[in-house]
């Protein structure tokens, strides 16, 4: 028997396909280029066709964020130690969110949906296992998320630069021209400061944060 479509549903459309195309649109044009009208054009349908699947742009963005978070790898509760699990989870969060860099600011500014809440529950459980409970556990979750998503936002801002080498050269030259008497440390670290932040930088800060939580 042929599948029956619900009232208002259009052949060839599904929420999964709509979200996939919405993510592609956001990846190519940024959040400022994401609109129901542009998405409908990408899909080859009238804008009204989308409202059967998503109520409005706000609901669309919320669903997009949840879809991205579904790609995060969650370690098993018996896998390694509690802090090692948190490290693996934050690493996976970084790489998953970084796969859609234009969305990074939205993860910081919007309330989380069911998938985000489930991830937070895992983090609280693992912190509890490590003796970090109550308000301390909540603060630890916030610190880990702020660090991870903040680092992603920092990386994302540099990913689409047309000429990264040129920017790094300019940054290096600018720092080395600073007065040595006033900026000795900035001049000394000019080469490193000019580099694009990446996984090595992320891991260094994450390890320091987890050590602090464990002590």
d(CA 168, CA 213): 34
Q: Cα 113 from chain centroid? A: 14
- Is it the case that residue 15 has pLDDT exceeding 50? yes
Dihedrals phi, psi of 203, to nearest 5 degrees: -65, -35
Q: Express each pLDDT in 153-184 by its tens digit.
A: 888 877 766 676 787 888 889 989 999 999 99
Find, among 19, 49, 45, 48, the residue nearest to 34 by Cα: 19
Mean pLDDT of the chain: 88
Pick the range with the lowest mean pLDDT from 6-15, 25-34, 97-106: 6-15
- DSSP string for residues in 146-172: HHHHHHHHHHHHHHT-S-HHHHHHHHH
All structural domains of the chain: 15-68 (1.10.10.60), 82-159+198-214 (1.10.357.10)
This prediction's pTM: 0.83
Which tokens in the block code for residue 116? Answer: 């985000």
- Is it the case that residue 11 has pLDDT exceeding 50? no
Asked if 38 and 25 count as a contact pair (C-beta separation under 8 A), the reply is: yes
d(CA 201, CA 209): 13
d(CA 196, CA 194): 7
Contacts of residues 208-211 at CB distance under 8 Å and 24 or more positions apart, as own/partner, are 209/143, 209/144, 209/147, 210/83, 210/86, 210/87
Q: What per-residue confidence (pLDDT) applies to 108?
A: 82
Asked if 190 and 175 count as a contact pair (C-beta separation under 8 A), the reply is: yes
- Is it the case that residue 50 has pLDDT exceeding 80? yes
E strands present in 86-165:
none
- Is it the case that residue 57 has pLDDT exceeding 80? yes
Find, among 191, 103, 107, the residue nearest to 147 by Cα: 107
């Amino acid at each position: 028997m042929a599948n029956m479509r619900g009232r208002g549903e259009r052949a060839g459309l599904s929420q999964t396909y709509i979200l996939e195309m919405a993510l592609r649109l956001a990846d190519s044009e940024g959040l400022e280029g994401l609109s129901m009208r542009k998405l409908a054009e990408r899909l080859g349908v009238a804008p009204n066709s989308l409202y059967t699947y998503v109520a409005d742009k706000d609901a669309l963005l919320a669903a997009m964020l949840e879809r991205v978070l579904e790609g995060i790898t969650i370690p098993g509760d018996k896998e390694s130690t509690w802090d090692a699990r948190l490290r693996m989870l934050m690493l996976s969060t970084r790489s998953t969110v970084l796969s859609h860099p234009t969305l990074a600011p939205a993860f910081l500014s919007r309330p989380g949906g069911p998938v985000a809440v489930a991830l937070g529950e895992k983090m609280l459980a693992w912190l509890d296992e490590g003796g970090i409970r109550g308000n301390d556990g909540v603060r630890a979750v916030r610190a880990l998320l702020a660090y991870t998503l903040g680092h992603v936002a920092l990386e994302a801002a540099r990913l689409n630069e047309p000429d990264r080498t040129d920017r790094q050269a300019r940054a290096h030259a600018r720092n080395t021209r600073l007065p040595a008497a006033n900026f000795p440390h900035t001049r000394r670290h000019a080469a490193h400061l000019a580099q694009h932040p990446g996984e090595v930088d992320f891991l260094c800060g994450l390890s320091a944060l987890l050590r602090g939580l464990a002590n």
